[in-house]
Amino acid sequence: MHETLVALAAGEISVATAEARLAGYATGTAGRFDAAREHRTGVPEAVLAAGKTPAEVAELVSLAVETTGRGMATRVDAESGAAVTERLAAEHPAATVERDERAGVLCAHASTFEPPTLDGVVGVVTAGTADAPPAGEAAAVAREMGATVERVADVGVAGLHRLLDRLDELRATDVLVVAAGREGALPTVVAGLVDTPVVGLPVSVGEGHGGAGEAALAGLLQSCTPLVAVNVDAGFVAGAHAGQLVRALDAAREG
């Protein structure tokens, strides 16, 4: 505490940074940013852009960069992405900003930020092209946690040979996030073919009875092969869980 107060008095850190160090969060007009989440859980805090104005998203991401060196936001549309880029250019001109338009994920890093590295590979698998947005969200958070991410796309069960052609790649990973919509069969099939932990990610693709991801989620919950399931389109949670598994594996390898 003493060092933080001295640094604040000397003008070496901002009020927000001091608050983050002392309280674990930083307060802005748009809300409080959980600056200690990564320290507690190994998962970086992310700003959910959905339901927030572009200005609110921009303020929170800027607060994140200021207090932790990194800002991450999910479900970011073009307007919010532009607002974040403009605000960071004004307040943190040396920061880099990348936005994955398809996944709706924005990641910003201060020039002094040192990204974590983990000795482990997360495979992110999609049944079809429509499953890419939540899968991309999962890939982004696992990558931000320090894992190496390998993508395997378009291997749905409607053409099972496409999956069988990629089995060696899947078996070489440490954790798999498998995204599928409609009946959600792919994660179950994959889990029956590999000895790698599988995180099933149901996607809101499908129509009619059981559409919008309902059948996919039910299928994963009823799976007869060992896997864990997250909520529909919960790419962040799937990627975070995979990252935590790799984090534990990394620690075991170091030990």
Tokens of 181: 């919509």
H-helix or E-strand spanning residue 74: strand 70-74
Instruction: Say if 128 falls within a structural domain.
Output: yes
Structural domain tally of the chain? 2
Angle between helices 15-23 and 54-68 (to 10 degrees): 70
Asked if residue 45 and residue 127 are part of one domain, the reply reads: no
Full pLDDT tens readout for the chain, 255 residues: 657 555 546 665 565 665 556 456 677 888 888 888 998 999 999 999 999 999 999 999 999 999 999 999 999 999 999 999 999 999 999 999 999 999 999 999 999 999 999 999 999 999 999 999 999 999 999 999 999 999 999 999 999 999 999 999 999 999 999 999 999 999 999 999 999 999 999 999 988 898 899 999 999 999 999 999 999 999 999 999 999 999 999 999 987
Q: What is the domain extent for residue 180?
A: 121-254
Residues 235, 46: contact at Cβ < 8 Å? no
Residues 32, 25: Cα–Cα separation, whole Å: 6
Instruction: Say if 114 falls within a structural domain.
Output: no
Out of 109, 131, 160, pick the residue that ends a domain. 109
Asked if residue 136 and residue 31 are part of one domain, the reply reads: no
Asked if residue 248 and residue 130 are part of one domain, the reply reads: yes
pTM attached to this predicted model: 0.91
Asked if residue 128 and residue 103 are part of one domain, the reply reads: no
Which parts of 112-172 fold into alpha helices (H)? 132-144, 160-164, 167-171
Residues 249, 119: contact at Cβ < 8 Å? yes
